[in-house]
Amino acid sequence: MEKQDLLRVYRSMKTIREFEERLHLEIQTGEIAGFTHLYSGQEASAVGVCDALSKDDYIVSTHRGHGHCIAKGCDVKGMMLEIYGRAGGLCKGKGGSMHIADFDVGMMGANAIVGGGPPLAVGAAIAAGIDGNGNVAVAFGGDGSSNQGTVFEAMNLAVVLKAPALFVFENNGYGEHTGDEYAVGAESIQARSAAFGMLSLAADGNDFFDVYEKTAQALEHARAGRGPVSLELQTQRYFGHFEGDPQKYRAAGEVEKARQEDDCLLRFRARVTGDGSLTEAELDAVDAEVLALIDEAVAEARQAPAPTPDDVLTDVYVSY
Amino acid sequence: MEKQDLLRVYRSMKTIREFEERLHLEIQTGEIAGFTHLYSGQEASAVGVCDALSKDDYIVSTHRGHGHCIAKGCDVKGMMLEIYGRAGGLCKGKGGSMHIADFDVGMMGANAIVGGGPPLAVGAAIAAGIDGNGNVAVAFGGDGSSNQGTVFEAMNLAVVLKAPALFVFENNGYGEHTGDEYAVGAESIQARSAAFGMLSLAADGNDFFDVYEKTAQALEHARAGRGPVSLELQTQRYFGHFEGDPQKYRAAGEVEKARQEDDCLLRFRARVTGDGSLTEAELDAVDAEVLALIDEAVAEARQAPAPTPDDVLTDVYVSY
Amino acid sequence: MPVMNVRQAINETLHQEMERDENVIVLGEDVSGGAGTPSGEREAIGGIWGTTGGLLPKFGEKRVIDTPITESAIIGAAAGASLVGKRAVAELMFADFIGVCMDQLFNQIAKFRYMFGGKAKCPVVVRLIYGAGMNSAAQHSQALYNMLTAVPGLKVVTPTNAADAKGLLTTAIRDDDPVMFFEHKALYTKKCEVPEGEYLVPFGEAQLLRQGDDVSVVAIGRMAYFAEKAVDALAEQGIGCDLIEPRTLSPLDEDSIIDSVEKTGRLVVVDESPPRCSIASDLAGIVAGKAFSSLKAPIEMVTAPHTPIPFARELERAYLPGPDKISAAISKAAGYR
Amino acid sequence: MPVMNVRQAINETLHQEMERDENVIVLGEDVSGGAGTPSGEREAIGGIWGTTGGLLPKFGEKRVIDTPITESAIIGAAAGASLVGKRAVAELMFADFIGVCMDQLFNQIAKFRYMFGGKAKCPVVVRLIYGAGMNSAAQHSQALYNMLTAVPGLKVVTPTNAADAKGLLTTAIRDDDPVMFFEHKALYTKKCEVPEGEYLVPFGEAQLLRQGDDVSVVAIGRMAYFAEKAVDALAEQGIGCDLIEPRTLSPLDEDSIIDSVEKTGRLVVVDESPPRCSIASDLAGIVAGKAFSSLKAPIEMVTAPHTPIPFARELERAYLPGPDKISAAISKAAGYR
Ligand SMILES: Cc1ncc(C[n+]2csc(CCOP(=O)(O)OP(=O)(O)O)c2C)c(N)n1
Ligand SMILES: Cc1ncc(C[n+]2csc(CCOP(=O)(O)OP(=O)(O)O)c2C)c(N)n1
Ligand SMILES: [Mg+2]
Ligand SMILES: [Mg+2]
């Protein structure tokens, strides 16, 4: 990767991290309403996948969608406004954290229904297949989602139609308060996907480079018309399932250890400085830039106007 | 197997065959209403599985349920009355061909929703597991049903809970007018089930003995608390998907060939007479008995009284 | 004008619209049939209702897509394709199957535009084949349009004749919102004259099947035919009815119904569904709110009973609202003082 | 009598009924939590709403079953177990998730008894946590009881206070029919006195929260609280209302509503759902048919608008029927001449 590419990747991961760490604090002020599921810890997954995509490829996301949105190129301030429920938010304050979408950058929406997204991704992939434009549609999902019937159906349909879809399973070890060891009856998500008849890969979800390379391999396969691909990523989430989660399912010291020893940003930094691709100073400069952006985004969101009651009634239909 | 066992098995298979062949004719008179999906050709599957079960084990069936009902011990005349929509039918004429049930013999109902049954079987299996009574619940399904999300969910849940459930996939090559080669993206249903983390077997669905033995193996596994089992049976249906199906998806001569070369009744007969277990005369006597029973059942059903309009309003709730 | 039945009208419309707009695609179980079968016959059925025949040979496998039995994925895929530029027409072989794909219908398709602040459009059409009358029992006979009419974001259409089937389906396919298109299985063979070429019937415009001053009768789907019989028989006895068939349940032509009730003062609603939270009660509620001052008699609802749908001929006949029950309700409304 | 909130009342009831009848089982996502996790803490949460806490330690893993995210299998398994002798209490963490298991609810559970000619019974309870008010947006806030009230074969219960939560849940668990038990997430912390020990509230008996002669107000779920505010304020202005909270939507205590309307001649129905095919229109339809002669004013429906549920605080507040809108509707009904 070129230097500018590495900087872009780092900026993207760092933006997600700071966005989420900051939200974690801001939520405690009570200013942000509703459910918020933070992505901290999983940045290499979103960015590893999305950086390998083109702008015209599609992604479909989940309840834990901020990372996917930022990685695919959604406007960070527009997202922050949305999460604050402001009129100027990406969805005019109607969607909130769990429903951010931006079709201009191929982001087809976060989805608060576990398993709701993969069938949609297959549809976008079918459309790409008809148009023969080489686009791929990615369905993000978690370990927990991998047991939902809609996800299995989507995988089988994609195989049957050889649709250029990529099923990314971010395995962070938990679906809410339950372990994947329990909820996934299969030996692994990867093995189960393989048995559906598709190319099935796995990567270290905390290693940007591994995720990126496996995604590139998957995309080559899918773009060549050889059918869908599954990709299981082992990763970790730093915060609770939702904000306020007592997290009694964690091992003692689990998160601290992950943050110290297996953090995707630290690993990225070590590698690119270690091999001389980037300097600490260059990365620090990105950090500063990102922090400033997030500060600005929060400041603007706080002061931005709320939607007006009349807005309730619009955007239900194109015409009615 | 003892002689009396072999005779019972043959009688059961033959009863299904004659029941269905006769229905095929009777339907053409216009006397029978609604959708009817005939089981002819698949008898060794239903009987091979059900003969290995005890009366206390449960089965859950499909739209193509007559064979399963007879094999599990439903009253043949009660079934015929039901299919004719008579007040004395097993379900008082309210269910019809697609909804025959008889809880007294562990038959938890045919089901007109493809994939509707397997979750129910898992529930019965969970109940058996709680009571520790060693009972097993069998979910019958077709190749087509194997792609339905509810079926995948049922399999995973059974694995997670180690529920004593048996998923029987009768692969007759078609889901309505579509081939399993197309609709099942996986290498095989068996392989896909295996990847869910359960013991996964296959048998020649036209060979009673093979089905019976594999079922026995599955039951031993499930009764021992080692979790669910999947069993794929290769078989064939002799009639259309529903009565009236133009069957343009068939190869020329396909059914004739199956009837001559791979018929489960002929194969059973050849084997048991070949090894001297039973004589042709003994089997012929069963044939005559069965034909007489079906004649009687049809005659009685034709003359039996219809339900009365007031019956529409009963049996909705236990109390309301 | 050529005479054709509803089945043919729908088939013709699909052909016309697929020809006109290459973004129109069709998907569902056995919409062609024959995939992966030994006969080599690629169109083995053309839809079990015969409505999608000839599409695959003409438009090819990319645009006419046979699927496994996988309704959640069918509806989801139709939605996903329509979010990125296609106009997918998905078939649910029986409307009763909404149970296995309901999330895609009411949490996804219906809500995209709103949740995403107006930025998405999802011009999907779901064709749902519905209704009793063929002894298909509890899981293959239901009229479930009430459940989808309840859902903001969806449009719901219930054509009753071949011309409307064509005109409304054309409108549905060209509409930028998701449309639930209910086809009554017992009406497929109903024939009438159908305009040639391009023909659109707008949403939200009821049709007036009969005119009269004594009672307003609103009947949905197949019930319109039963109501016609009742109304015609009563006309001979001197009771005149407006007979209104809404054509689309969402949007609803409230004005036509209210105007009629303002004239007659009496309302009978006829609906094939059970009574609770039905279209019948929906219309009754609207009129009891908006045309109360004109009402001269209790609103009569003629519906199926609060029971599942029975199998046997005699039972299903007793279950369904028929001309007799409708007639009795109209007489009661007309006679109320 | 001890004072407790709805959450505690439900928890206590589950404990009591599981103790009383060993056939009662509980299943759902994270009803215990902690399965397969590194902490070794087996009860990591006790239900995300805190209603199933303490059950696993007391009754063990066989009867308190954590499941994967697999709603169709959860409801199906609950049904299957209940068909063979258990009384399963399944939790749907959010009622909005009926979309992914709707078939099991309306085609399976609801219809077994009828399809099988009265031979099956399926005493399953599905607990559905519902309602807006927590800015959970379009897919986590819906009041979908209308969709299930429409289904013959199901019973539908909507408790509004801790005592009823206990009494109705006890009745639900002992009932031999399938019961859809709707718990409003914004009412969990509402406190009141709750009878100790065994306590049953029968189905089909509404409660009269306020008495008055001018207007009948029927309010569902959380709307009863908003209606109370409106009614109390209007009482000071001399407008007296009967305030009826049905407690169960199916069976419905029609008599109480009709009796009240026969007294007041005016009806306001308040419902958190959008208007079409809602409980509001259902009740309006029933009254417009059965108490017409007593009606002196148009029936007023106060509902959410025909839109999905928005996220932002300001929008959700505008979306929900509140005391002001209810008050305006009552005044309108009372003032109609
Ligand atoms: C159909 C459905 N069931 C349950 C939920 C509640 N829920 C939200 S997130 C979640 C866990 C998802 O786990 P996983 O897929 O591993 O994603 P993660 O939260 O770990 O990112 C659950 C159960 C839901 N939103 N939708
Ligand atoms: C949910 C649902 N989708 C579609 C159907 C229509 N249908 C009934 S049987 C059938 C084919 C089933 O195929 P398979 O499982 O192989 O069983 P077979 O008919 O071969 O016995 C289909 C599509 C249905 N009844 N339910
Ligand atoms: Mg997870
Ligand atoms: Mg088959």
Q: Hey, what domains does chain B have and what are their CATH numbers?
A: 3-243+254-304 (3.40.50.970)
Task: Give the ligand at the shortest distance from the Cα of B39.
Answer: 2
Report the gap between the CA of A85 and the closest CA in chain C (Å): 11
The reply to whether D70 touches chain C by the CB within 8 Å rule is no
Query: For B48-90, how does the pLDDT look when each residue is reduced to its tens digit (9 = 90+)?
Result: 999 999 999 999 999 999 999 999 999 999 999 999 999 999 9
- Burial degree of D87 (CB within 10 A; 0-12, 13-18, 19+): buried
Closest CB to D36 among A96, A115, A181: A181
Q: Where does the pLDDT of residue D268 fall: very low under 50, low under 70, confident under 90, or very high at 90 and above?
A: very high
- pTM to 2 decimals? 0.99
Compute the distance between CA of residue C236 and CA of residue C238 in angstroms, rounded to an integer: 5
Contact C192, C3 (CB under 8 A): yes
Query: For D194-241, how does the pLDDT look when each residue is reduced to its tens digit (9 = 90+)?
Result: 999 999 999 999 999 999 999 999 999 999 999 999 999 999 999 999
Percent of chain D exceeding pLDDT 90 equals 99
Identify the closest residue of chain B to D78 by CA–CA distance.
Answer: B123
Compute the distance between CA of residue D64 and CA of residue A113 in angstroms, rounded to an integer: 24
Report the gap between the CA of C56 and the closest CA in chain B (Å): 14
Identify the closest residue of chain A to C203 by CA–CA distance.
Answer: A320
Q: Is A112 in the pocket of ligand 1 (CB under 6 A)?
A: yes
Ligand 4 centre to CA of B234 (Å) is 10
pLDDT at C40: 83
The reply to whether A307 touches chain D by the CB within 8 Å rule is yes
The three state secondary structure string of C73-118 is: HHHHHHHHHHHCCCEEEEEECCHHHHHHCHHHHHHHHCCHHHHCCC
The chain-wide mean pLDDT, for chain D, equals 98
**What is the DSSP secondary-structure string of B162-230?**
T--EEEEEEE-SEETTEEHHHH--SS-HHHHHHHTTSEEEEEETT-HHHHHHHHHHHHHHHHTTS--EE
Compute the distance between CA of residue A154 and CA of residue A140 in angstroms, rounded to an integer: 12
Give chain D positions within 8 Å (CB) of B125: 80
pLDDT at A209: 98
Report the gap between the CA of D136 and the closest CA in chain A (Å): 5
pLDDT at C236: 97
Mean pLDDT of all residues in A26-35: 95
* Alpha carbon nearest to ligand 2 atom 12, residue: B175
Q: Do B149 and A147 touch (CB under 8 A)?
A: no
- Burial degree of C317 (CB within 10 A; 0-12, 13-18, 19+): middle
Report the gap between the CA of B2 and the closest CA in chain A (Å): 40
For residue A138, what is the DSSP state?
E
Q: Is A180 in the pocket of ligand 1 (CB under 6 A)?
A: no
| Residues whose CB falls within 8 Å of the CB of residue D329, separated by 6 or more in sequence, listed in order | D268, D270, D300, D301, D302
- Amino acid sitting at position C159: P
Q: Do B99 and D79 touch (CB under 8 A)?
A: no
Ligand 1 centre to CA of C101 (Å) is 18
Give the CA distances from residue A199 to residues A153, A251, B18, B224, D133, in Å, rounded to whole numbers and listed in that order: 16, 34, 47, 35, 44
Contact A56, A124 (CB under 8 A): no
For residue A58, what is the DSSP state?
E
Mean pLDDT of all residues in A47-53: 98
* Alpha carbon nearest to ligand 1 atom 25, residue: A113
B140, B176, B182, best to mutate for ligand 2 pocket (most atoms within 8 Å of CB): B176
Helices then strands, counting H and E runs in chain D, come out as 12, 14
Ligand 4 centre to CA of B172 (Å) is 5
Pairing mode, strands C3-5 and C191-193: antiparallel
Pocket of ligand 2 (CB under 6 A): B 37, 63-64, 112-115, 141-145, 172, 174-176, 241; C 29, 69, 71, 93, 97, 100
C184 as an active site residue: the answer is no
Give the number of the atom of ligand 1 that is nearest the alpha carbon of residue A64.
Answer: 21
| Residue whose pair of structure tokens reads 């199998």 in the numeric block | C311
Give the number of the atom of ligand 2 that is nearest the alpha carbon of residue B115.
Answer: 1
Compute the distance between CA of residue D112 and CA of residue D94 in angstroms, rounded to an integer: 25
Please name each of the domains of chain C with its CATH number: 3-193 (3.40.50.970), 207-334 (3.40.50.920)
Catalytic residue, chosen from C15, C140, C184, C306, is C140
Task: Give the ligand at the shortest distance from the Cα of A176.
Answer: 1
Give the number of the atom of ligand 2 that is nearest the alpha carbon of residue B180.
Answer: 16
Compute the distance between CA of residue C103 and CA of residue A120 in angstroms, rounded to an integer: 12
Q: Where does the pLDDT of residue A243 fall: very low under 50, low under 70, confident under 90, or very high at 90 and above?
A: confident
Ligand 4 centre to CA of B169 (Å) is 9
Give chain B positions within 8 Å (CB) of D82: 123
Alpha helices by DSSP H, B57-116: 66-72, 76-83
For residue A102, what is the DSSP state?
B
Q: How many residues does chain C have?
A: 337
Q: Above 90 in pLDDT, residue B244?
A: no
Closest CB to D113 among B157, B160, B315: B315
Q: Do D146 and C277 touch (CB under 8 A)?
A: yes
Q: Above 90 in pLDDT, residue A4?
A: yes
| Residues whose CB falls within 8 Å of the CB of residue A231, separated by 6 or more in sequence, listed in order | A49, A166, A167, A168, A169, A200, A201, A202, A203, A214, A215, A218
Identify the closest residue of chain B to D251 by CA–CA distance.
Answer: B320
Q: Above 90 in pLDDT, residue B182?
A: yes
Q: Is A114 in the pocket of ligand 1 (CB under 6 A)?
A: yes
Q: Suggest the residue from C97, C147, C277 to mutate for an interface test with chain D (most D CBs closer than 10 A).
A: C277
Q: Do D312 and A183 touch (CB under 8 A)?
A: no
Distance of CA A261 to the CA centre of its chain: 22
Closest CB to B160 among A150, A155, A182: A182
Longest Cα separation, chain A: 60
User: What is the set of active-site residues of D?
Assistant: 140
Give the CA distances from residue C195 to residues A309, C109, C161, C166, D249, in Å, rounded to whole numbers and listed in that order: 45, 32, 12, 9, 47
Query: For C234-266, how does the pLDDT look when each residue is reduced to its tens digit (9 = 90+)?
Result: 999 999 999 999 999 999 999 999 999 999 999
Give the CA distances from residue B104 to residues B13, B108, B317, D83, D87, in Å, rounded to whole numbers and listed in that order: 21, 9, 20, 12, 19
Report the gap between the CA of A192 and the closest CA in chain B (Å): 5
Query: For B184-208, how does the pLDDT look when each residue is reduced to its tens digit (9 = 90+)?
Result: 999 999 999 999 999 999 999 999 9
Query: For A260-274, how does the pLDDT look when each residue is reduced to its tens digit (9 = 90+)?
Result: 999 999 999 999 999
Report the gap between the CA of D103 and the closest CA in chain C (Å): 4
Q: Above 90 in pLDDT, residue D40?
A: no
Closest CB to D150 among C103, C146, C300: C146
Give the CA distances from residue A246 to residues A77, A250, D44, D57, in Å, rounded to whole numbers and listed in that order: 30, 9, 8, 18
pLDDT at A136: 98
Mean pLDDT of all residues in B233-254: 95
The reply to whether D76 touches chain A by the CB within 8 Å rule is no
* Alpha carbon nearest to ligand 1 atom 3, residue: A114
The chain-wide mean pLDDT, for chain B, equals 98
Q: Which residues of D301-312 are buried (b: 16+ CB within 10 A; e: fewer)?
A: bbbbbbbbbbbb
- Chain C: list its partners (3+ Cβ pairs within 8 Å): A, B, D
pLDDT at B137: 99
The reply to whether C65 touches chain A by the CB within 8 Å rule is yes
Closest CB to D311 among A93, A173, A309: A93
Q: How many residues does chain B have?
A: 320
The reply to whether C153 touches chain D by the CB within 8 Å rule is yes
Closest CB to A149 among D35, D72, D306: D72
Compute the distance between CA of residue B292 and CA of residue B285 in angstroms, rounded to an integer: 11
**Neighbouring C-beta atoms of residue B28, cutoff 10 Å:** 11
H-helix or E-strand spanning residue C193: strand C191-193
Q: Above 90 in pLDDT, residue A244?
A: no
The reply to whether B93 touches chain D by the CB within 8 Å rule is yes
Give the number of the atom of ligand 1 that is nearest the alpha carbon of residue A175.
Answer: 13
pLDDT at D79: 98
Pairing mode, strands B58-60 and B178-179: unpaired
* Alpha carbon nearest to ligand 2 atom 3, residue: B114
The rounded average pLDDT for each run of 10 residues, N- to C-terminus, in chain C (337 residues) is 97 98 98 95 95 98 98 98 98 98 98 98 98 98 98 98 98 99 98 98 98 98 98 98 98 98 98 98 98 98 98 98 98 97
Contact B167, B141 (CB under 8 A): yes
Q: Do B93 and C100 touch (CB under 8 A)?
A: no
The reply to whether C335 touches chain D by the CB within 8 Å rule is no
3-class secondary-structure state, position D301: strand
Longest Cα separation, chain C: 69
Q: Which of D256, D166, D280, D278 is nearest to D207 (CA)?
A: D256
Query: For A152-178, how does the pLDDT look when each residue is reduced to its tens digit (9 = 90+)?
Result: 999 999 999 999 999 999 999 999 999
A114, A181, A241, A243, best to mutate for ligand 1 pocket (most atoms within 8 Å of CB): A114
pLDDT at D148: 98
Q: Do B154 and D73 touch (CB under 8 A)?
A: yes
